Structure 1
Amino acid sequence: METILNVEGMTCGHCKAAVESAAKEVSGVTDAAVNLELGNVIVTHDDALNIGEVKQSIEDQGYDVK
């Protein structure tokens, strides 16, 4: 299953790596791919994932998830 999250504040490769890493740390996430131009991250996960946990993990890195 995939969920697309809009993330504000990403501007560079470091931001991309930080957001992908934060998403992948959450149990149930199998992959995360940031698109800086679109300002989003595609999170691949199992059906039981609480997407709120992914949002919080990304926000803990200093980014704003919409």
Structure 2
Amino acid sequence: MATNEYQVTGMTCGHCEMSIREEVGEIAGVQDIQVSAQTGRLVVTGSDSVEDSQILTAVTEAGYSAVRAV
């Protein structure tokens, strides 16, 4: 199990959070998703097989951009 944090740009409301949650939730192995438009943070917990590229692609498909937080 791994937990990774991302900085998302472009989120402004609960609908934005829901869009990201839905897209990231479709990735196999994702267990938990925490997303906040207020902080611009996305925290994803899932199996070790979930890759950053999958998360970043899902965020892009939702209409936002993200980078892995350091």
What's the TM-score once normalised by structure 1's chain length? 0.91
Are positions 1:33 and 2:34 aligned together?
Answer: yes
Separation in structure 2 between the aligned mates of residue 52 and residue 6 of structure 1, nearest angstrom: 14
Extract unaligned runs of 5+ from structure 1.
none
Give the C-alpha shift of residue 36 in structure 1: 1.7
The number of equivalent residue pairs is 66
Q: What's the offset of the Cα at 1:38?
A: 1.3
CA RMSD, aligned part only? 0.9
Runs of 4+ aligned residues of structure 1 deviating over 2 Å after TM superposition are none
Q: Which amino acid letter does the alignment assign opposite residue 46 of structure 1?
A: S
Per the normalisation by structure 2, the TM-score is: 0.86
